[in-house]
């Protein structure tokens, strides 16, 4: 059974006269890592914003774990492009946000969960620091830990590393793969960086045109665990070129 399923989903922005998402159907198997790749403004973030409930589709059904999302809560963890750590809360208090809102945990339980989550992302001892004291990569790891604490099996990551410098970004990519393999979550990852998409995903979902009527699935012929050296294999280099060509056709300079 697929963990996420779009069935003929459409969405239209009030300011536009066409459906930016037009009868889109696709599904995602549990435990997979997919990157959705497309040019800026193609509507890939709209797919996320419908999945997490911030936007209501005009038509069609979105199911998570076989159940329509309108009938459930707390089914996905969403991490936006900016880390959005609240600057007036310490790192620990930031991580507490999803737990506080979902309720049902005592202060002591929350504290234990937060300490475990921080240790897991390599931020032991940062619980009482303010977000401003952390570097960009550390902040993204804290934001990821907060997303993990939603407790959902489906994680939606919307260009989480795009604001980081190159070296931090590639080490965060390796770190994220490691996290994914240890926690067996399903990750959907939006990016417009072809290399990032190829390095991370088991198969890339390409947005070939706007409005989005389908996502073209292109498998990446590489086993996990991966290293950056694998990116120079001839078939991977070929795949990268193929993806760049597909995207460049849509860009009008």
Partner 1 sequence: MKKACKGNLPALLFLFALLMLWQLGAMKIDASYILPTPMQILRKLWELRVILFTVHLPATMEVTLIGLAISLVLGLGLAVLMDVSPFWQKALYPVVVASQTIPTTTIAPLFVLWFGYGIWSKVLVTILITFFPITITVYDGLRSAKVEMAELLLTYGATKRDIYWKVKVPCALPYFFSAVKMAVPMSIIGAAIGEWLGAQSGLGYFSRRMMTQLDGAGVFSPIVLLSVTAMVTVGIVSLLEKRLVRWRGES
| Binding residues for partner 1 (CB under 8 A) | 52-54, 73-74, 76-78, 80, 82, 84, 86-89, 97-98, 100-102, 130-132, 150
Return the number of the residue (74 or 228) whose C-beta is nearest partner 1.
74
Phi, psi of 166 (to 5 degrees): -55, -50
Return the number of the residue (100 or 241) whose C-beta is nearest partner 1.
100
Alpha-carbon gap, residue 221 to 119, rounded angstroms: 33
Nearest distance, CB of residue 240 and partner 1, angstroms: 32
Return the number of the residue (129 or 226) whose C-beta is nearest partner 1.
129
Nearest distance, CB of residue 88 and partner 1, angstroms: 4
Asked if 149 and 98 count as a contact pair (C-beta separation under 8 A), the reply is yes
**The CA-based dihedral angle spanning residues 183, 79, 14, 212, taken in that order and rounded to the nearest 10 degrees:** -50
Nearest distance, CB of residue 126 and partner 1, angstroms: 16
Nearest distance, CB of residue 8 and partner 1, angstroms: 24
Structure token digits, residue 27 = 């599904």
Return the number of the residue (97 or 170) whose C-beta is nearest partner 1.
97
Buried b (16+ CB within 10 A) or exposed e, 110-136: bbebbeebbebbebeebbeeebeebee
List C-alpha distances in Å: 21 to 44, 56, 211, 212.
9, 12, 5, 5
Return the number of the residue (52 or 179) whose C-beta is nearest partner 1.
52
Q: Which ranges in 149-217 belong to alpha helices (H)?
A: 166-183, 194-200
Nearest distance, CB of residue 121 and partner 1, angstroms: 18
Which residues is 48 bridged to in the sheet? Answer: none
Return the number of the residue (52 or 203) whose C-beta is nearest partner 1.
52
Alpha-carbon gap, residue 115 to 180, rounded angstroms: 19
Nearest distance, CB of residue 34 and partner 1, angstroms: 19
Alpha-carbon gap, residue 114 to 140, rounded angstroms: 16
């Amino acid at each position: 059974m697929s963990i996420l399923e779009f069935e003929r989903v459409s969405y239209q922005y009030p300011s536009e006269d066409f459906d930016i998402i037009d009868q889109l159907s696709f599904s995602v198997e549990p435990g997979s890592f997919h990157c959705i790749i497309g040019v800026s403004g193609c509507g890939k973030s709209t797919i996320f914003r419908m999945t997490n409930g911030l936007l209501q589709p005009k038509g069609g059904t979105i199911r998570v774990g076989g159940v329509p999302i309108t009938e459930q809560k707390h089914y996905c963890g969403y991490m936006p492009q900016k880390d959005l750590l609240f600057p007036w809360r310490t790192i620990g208090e930031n991580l507490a946000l999803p737990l506080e809102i979902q309720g049902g945990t005592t202060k002591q339980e929350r504290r234990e969960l937060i300490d475990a989550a921080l240790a897991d992302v390599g931020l032991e001892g940062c619980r009482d620091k303010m977000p401003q004291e952390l570097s960009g990569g550390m902040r993204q790891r804290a934001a990821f830990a907060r997303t993990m604490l939603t407790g959902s099996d489906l994680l939606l990551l919307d260009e989480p590393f795009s604001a980081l410098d190159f070296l931090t970004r590639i080490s965060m990519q390796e770190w994220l793969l490691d996290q994914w393999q240890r926690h067996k979550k399903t990750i959907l990852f939006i990016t417009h960086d072809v290399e990032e998409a190829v390095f991370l995903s088991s198969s890339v979902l390409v947005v070939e045109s706007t409005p989005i009527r389908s996502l073209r699935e292109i498998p990446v012929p590489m086993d996990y665990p991966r290293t950056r050296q694998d990116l120079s294999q001839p078939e991977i280099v070929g795949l990268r070129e193929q993806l760049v060509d597909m995207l460049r056709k849509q860009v009008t300079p």
